[in-house]
Amino acid sequence: MNKSELKSFLDFKVEQYNTSHFIETDPIQIPHQFSKKENIEIAGFLTATIAWGNRKSILKNADRLMELLDRSPYDFVINHSPADLEKLENFVHRTFQGIDLQYFIKALKNIYLNYGGIEKIFSTYAEERSLQPAIHHFKQAFFELPHARRTEKHVSDPQKNSAAKRINMS
């Protein structure tokens, strides 16, 4: 495929996917519910984390996630109490369970308080032609708190030969 053919193909895909009809049936609708940057980041990251399996199930569980976070993900992450985390115990989407979600909330709080947020990590470590170093640094920061080893499988690392598809979606 030459450059002209590639441009035509990508332009066609933009027209196909950048529509309200597509958004209505895709998990991308979850972060589109928010206007505050931090809410969009968190909703996008959590939705991408559970974005495997049946699309309807992903949408249902991503919506349930936002409900559990009181439809204000950033506020929940920053201000949660131990009692707030308890209500996340029963969340399950395939292999992503309550214990994973509870850790994700703690890790995100750590990232916003100590690293300036998700965007800051990515903008600091992204290279001109690659997000791989940024994803690697994000994962390192994300898992610096004590956590169950099982939770690590939910965030890929391109430096360990992963395509990191879900984190690239967020």
| Per-residue pLDDT reduced to its tens digit, 95-112 | 999 999 999 999 999 999
User: What is the DSSP pairing of strand 92-93 with strand 96-97?
Assistant: antiparallel
pLDDT above 70 coverage of the chain, percent: 91
Structure tokens at 43: 């909703």
When pLDDT is cut at 50, 70 and 90, the band that residue 155 belongs to is confident
User: Which residues constitute the domain of residue 41?
Assistant: 3-169
Contact 144, 110 (CB under 8 A): yes
Structural domains in the chain (count): 1
pLDDT of res. 110: 98
Q: State pTM to two decimals.
A: 0.83
